[in-house]
Structure 1
Amino acid sequence: MKLNGGPTPATPVNKQSGGGQTHTGLPSAGIDRTQSAQQQLAQLKLGNRESTVAKVAEVLQRKGGGNELILEVKGRSLPVATGDQAPDLKAGDLIKVMRAGNELRLIGKLATSQESGIAKALAQRLPWQQNLQSGLAQLLNSMNAGLKAAPQPGQPPAANTTQPLPVAARQTLEDLFANMAKANSLQPGAGKAEGSASQVKQWLSESGVFAESRLLQTSGPQGAPTDLKLALARIVTALLASQGQSPEAFNRLTPLASQDLLNAPLQFPRLTAANVSQGSSEPASVAQTLRMLAGMLNRITVNQLHSQTLTARAGAEPGTPASTLLLEIPWLTPQHEPRMAQLRMEQYQQERNTKNNPERTSVSEWRLNLAMDLDHAGPLHFEVAYRHPSVSAHIWAIKQSTLRQVNEELPLLRQSLADLGLEVADLECRRGSPQHAETRLEHRLVDTKA
């Protein structure tokens, strides 16, 4: 049926007898009931006989009777009256609609995709993320100060009584920190040195994002001793064993969460706030440590699921990357304090013709976003784009002194890139921080292309 404009009530959905399809009248766009059907369709930029995917945002009951759906179509919210009969749809369902003149026709409901399942798993873990930087700082403190001892049955709790970490947990932490990246691991110009590329590759592979794939390639958990996620899991097992508990007890714990990750759980990269950069110096109990470890494992799992979901969106919208990888790399300052570097890697596929090869070929462009906070230089953001053989880089610094120092080093960076056989297209440093598009779960992660 036709889309109605003005103050006219929404047109109900009428079932067709032959094809089993449904004509849907959409009275307005963006919950604005003052526009005509033609204006609404023009804003949707939907051509005649062109179909698109909509998401059911809400299923409502009207006060005067009947039902109404709130659909999300191309970023716009549209109310659709469905009459007295409740629709066989629920919030979160994906449907396919097609324009027929000044009407929108409901083609049918789409089956649940793999991306939807990943997005649901992601949403379940979002509220329970523990900041990895503060978590590692607390674990380092536990290595030195021990854990708060639990009171013995029938005895009053003793003040300030601590117990050492279990031997297996301590050994795992020692190996983890010993193999962690150090502030002085890569000196200026070390990128051309033999072995530097493999060292960086090792830091990336041991970030925890590849933990499950590493397990498949080894004989067991001991085959990847310095993988962050697997190391945290081994610490959990050791702590539970010291309490006489089985691994199943870990599933009953409520993970600790960091407030900064609750406020913006999907913004990546996003530097850690200064007030949560370090763990408490007060010894934690075994129970508190286990809850913190649960939140840290959730944080790594969120990065894994977030990467999978963004990759599954490839091609859903113009300009979306073919693959996305989000990871956090732990490193140590000269004072042996843990820090995190947040890395976002994206691959874009472009089709083009060349003079020597008239057939269309696929060309990859890689984009890298790196964010880290240095004690003296302050927050730094790097954006690098590479498409063989050209590379461009933009650097953002908050501090004026850091901005001046980086600008002084840019000629050396340009020469180093040229020595690697790269054509430097653009290279500059700016004051402030880059503006990233906001990531929202409803629109960016759950919506699935047809």
Structure 2
Amino acid sequence: MKGDMNIPPIPQATPSSVRPGLVGGEVLKLLQPAEGLIRPGQSAQAEVISLKQNDLAFQLLLKLTLAGGRETNVQASSNFPLPVGTQLAVTQPSAGNLAISLQQALSSSVATLTRLDTQQVPVGTLLQGKVLTTQALAQPAGQPAIYRSLVTLLNSTLSGSTLTLDSPQPLRIGSLLSAQVLDAQRLNFVPLSGRQEQLAVAQQLATQLSRQGSLEGLLSALQKLPANAQMPPELRASIDTLLAQLPTPSQLSNPKALGTALLNSGAFLEAKLLSGQAHAMAPDMKASLLRLIAQILPGLPASTSFNPGMAASTQAQALPTFVRNALGMLGQVSAKPPPAGFPLPQRSVQNGESEDSLENLLKLAAAAISRLQSHQLSSLEQSGRTTDGGVLTTWQLEIPMRNAHDIVPLQVKFQREDPPEKEPHDPPESREIKDPLWRVELAFDLTPLGPLHVQAQLLRGSLSGQLWAERASTAHLIESQLGDLRQRLNDAGLSVTDLDCHQGTPPHSGPARLEQRWVDETA
């Protein structure tokens, strides 16, 4: 859905606004008839404490305060929505019905926000809410359709308030909505490209992190396989191809080779599949690992203690469809797990089999795929809208390198932060197009330098960078070479504003906090 959403004013109780069916009072049907709940000729105070839409009717949970101060909850249905918090005076004409007055029905919108206080939520603020109801409003012939919805706000100082919105398209009931404040009466819908699936992403990320294993564990085991190991010829050919495609650090110093390695890291496998690039599957790391698993499974002996069914399940969980399956679990997570962080820590897979057994290779391959998927899910979790309305996009991936006889994983994270889009009514001086801010992080452990971490920012050709080395000797060596590095960056056309090296590890603080809301949609 695109376009503005308007906050309608309070309807006036004039004869022209009276709808058929409201004359003489609106009837609320009790879902469970109760005889003598309210005595004849008396009324009771009622408060709407929950509201749900069911087809064309609305289900209400009312808290009644009866004579003597006794309170009870009843469920009722209505032909129109009464916002949560609405106070009513109800009577009981029959055992299965409650009645409210015409004036109360027309003024029920008093319980919702009819305008936004831009002092509390300034223009540009990103509001998030949950859609409670959606109704099509009666329109004259030839006029475009308008849908009225009740939305509970989930963030900002207005959290918990109910907002009435008119929009050109229906809002899906129960969905999470994000919109930017334009003024006191208008909101602009913000398509957040999957923010509604963040709960499923978080749950899948926690699952993948618990089963992932470092890539070098599998690749080192494949390197050590004896030449006379018993295995199908096609499996041996796949292993040789996988090891042969690993780049060296010197190869990655070539921009074209680096771009190819990034593209074939496994982070973009699903994008290739969706675009029909079947010819690009051969060198892809994730595709190679999936092919390896498919070739290992038939060779498992029938008497093995390793459960082939469990292996098949592990493979199925590793396939690209896991994201789509996870979306059905949206709302079953009530808390956000700790972020995965960058870089992902080294993790070994425990096993009781010999290193060259097919069971061991299967476990290591499945754990390696989970590691690649952990990077993909972490990229999704770190992408979205910033608090000022900008867009943050993250690509996190891992490239295994051959350094002599060692396997060295190079972890890479790119982030692009685009500024908020300017609206036509903004002052001309503020409408200038701003350049995106790029961030790059590298993490690797290269003998004999030890663990290294690099962070750099690029904006309009101006670059600043920080390097961290855990070993003091390495930090001193890098410090002595910073002048040469600065000159080479200047020769490449970049303006270097800041370039430093530190001993230790970088502080873990994200450069841009995303506006996120974690709720239990089943509540």
Amino acid at match of 1:208: G
Partner of 1:89: none
| Structure showing the higher helix proportion among its residues | 1
Q: Which has the larger radius of gyration?
A: 2
Q: Distance in 2 between matches of 1:129 and 1:170?
A: 29
Describe the shift of the 1:251–1:142 C-alpha distance in structure 2 as closer, same or farther (beyond 3 A).
Answer: same
Q: Distance in 1 between matches of 2:487 and 2:352?
A: 44
Shift of 1:348: 1.8
How many residues end up aligned between the 2 structures? 354
Describe the shift of the 1:412–1:321 C-alpha distance in structure 2 as closer, same or farther (beyond 3 A).
Answer: farther
Amino acid at match of 2:207: P
Amino acid at match of 1:204: L
Secondary structure of the residue aligned to 1:407 is helix
Q: Distance in 2 between matches of 1:368 and 1:395?
A: 12
Partner of 2:407: 338
Describe the shift of the 1:79–1:214 C-alpha distance in structure 2 as closer, same or farther (beyond 3 A).
Answer: closer
Partner of 1:283: 355
Shift of 1:367: 0.8
Q: Distance in 1 between matches of 2:434 and 2:463?
A: 18
Matches within 5 A, 1:314-333: 314=385, 316-318=386-388, 321-333=391-403
Q: Distance in 1 between matches of 2:244 and 2:197?
A: 38
Deviations, residues 15-70 of structure 1 (Å, cap 9, x unaligned): 67347658489xxxxxxxxxxxxxxx99x95469x8832579xxxxxxxxxxxxx9
318-327 or 278-287, which moves further after superposition?
Answer: 278-287
Q: Distance in 2 between matches of 1:446 and 1:172?
A: 43
Q: Is the 8 A contact 1:55 1:73 kept in 2?
A: no
Describe the shift of the 1:71–1:167 C-alpha distance in structure 2 as closer, same or farther (beyond 3 A).
Answer: farther
Shift of 1:230: 0.3
Q: Distance in 2 between matches of 1:347 and 1:419?
A: 24
Partner of 1:205: 263
Q: Distance in 1 between matches of 2:517 and 2:413?
A: 16
Shift of 1:383: 0.9
TM-score, normalization by structure 2: 0.54
Partner of 1:177: 243
Shift of 1:329: 1.4
Q: Distance in 2 between matches of 1:295 and 1:22?
A: 56
Shift of 1:318: 2.5
Q: Distance in 2 between matches of 1:388 and 1:175?
A: 41
Amino acid at match of 2:269: A
Secondary structure of the residue aligned to 2:441 is strand
Shift of 1:121: 4.4
Partner of 1:232: 289
Matches within 5 A, 1:69-108: 73-74=155-156, 94=176
Q: Is the 8 A contact 2:213 2:370 kept in 1?
A: no
Describe the shift of the 1:366–1:125 C-alpha distance in structure 2 as closer, same or farther (beyond 3 A).
Answer: closer
Whether 1:424 aligns to 2:496 is yes
Q: Is the 8 A contact 2:211 2:370 kept in 1?
A: no
Describe the shift of the 1:172–1:443 C-alpha distance in structure 2 as closer, same or farther (beyond 3 A).
Answer: farther
Amino acid at match of 1:270: P
Deviations, residues 89-129 of structure 1 (Å, cap 9, x unaligned): xxx97478999xxxxxxx9xx99973323541451352233
Matches within 5 A, 1:143-154: 144-145=224-225
Shift of 1:173: 2.4
Amino acid at match of 2:265: S
Amino acid at match of 1:238: Q
Describe the shift of the 1:167–1:98 C-alpha distance in structure 2 as closer, same or farther (beyond 3 A).
Answer: closer
Same amino acid, percent of matched pairs: 22
Amino acid at match of 2:236: R
Whether 1:168 aligns to 2:256 is no
Q: Is the 8 A contact 2:175 2:196 kept in 1?
A: no
Whether 1:267 aligns to 2:340 is yes
Partner of 1:124: 204
Describe the shift of the 1:17–1:200 C-alpha distance in structure 2 as closer, same or farther (beyond 3 A).
Answer: same
Shift of 1:326: 0.9
Describe the shift of the 1:388–1:111 C-alpha distance in structure 2 as closer, same or farther (beyond 3 A).
Answer: closer
Whether 1:17 aligns to 2:78 is no
Describe the shift of the 1:184–1:241 C-alpha distance in structure 2 as closer, same or farther (beyond 3 A).
Answer: same
Describe the shift of the 1:174–1:133 C-alpha distance in structure 2 as closer, same or farther (beyond 3 A).
Answer: farther
Secondary structure of the residue aligned to 2:388 is coil
Secondary structure of the residue aligned to 1:394 is strand
Q: Distance in 1 between matches of 2:367 and 2:312?
A: 12
Amino acid at match of 1:175: T
Q: Distance in 1 between matches of 2:514 and 2:205?
A: 15
Partner of 1:157: none
Unaligned runs of 5+ in 2: 1-46, 48-83, 88-103, 132-151, 162-173, 182-186, 303-307, 319-336, 423-428
Secondary structure of the residue aligned to 2:452 is strand
Describe the shift of the 1:235–1:130 C-alpha distance in structure 2 as closer, same or farther (beyond 3 A).
Answer: farther
Whether 1:138 aligns to 2:218 is yes
Q: Is the 8 A contact 2:353 2:359 kept in 1?
A: no
Partner of 2:432: 360
Shift of 1:278: 11
Q: Is the 8 A contact 2:217 2:348 kept in 1?
A: no
Shift of 1:237: 1.1
Partner of 1:306: 378
Q: Distance in 2 between matches of 1:281 and 1:243?
A: 13
Amino acid at match of 2:452: L
Describe the shift of the 1:317–1:219 C-alpha distance in structure 2 as closer, same or farther (beyond 3 A).
Answer: closer
Q: Distance in 1 between matches of 2:399 and 2:432?
A: 38
Deviations, residues 249-280 of structure 1 (Å, cap 9, x unaligned): 85424889xxxxxxx8733322534x749999
**Aligned-pair Cα RMSD in Å:** 5.1
Q: Is the 8 A contact 1:381 1:395 kept in 2?
A: yes
Partner of 1:372: 444
Amino acid at match of 1:340: P
208-217 or 365-374, which moves further after superposition?
Answer: 208-217
Describe the shift of the 1:128–1:285 C-alpha distance in structure 2 as closer, same or farther (beyond 3 A).
Answer: farther
Secondary structure of the residue aligned to 2:261 is helix
427-436 or 204-213, which moves further after superposition?
Answer: 427-436
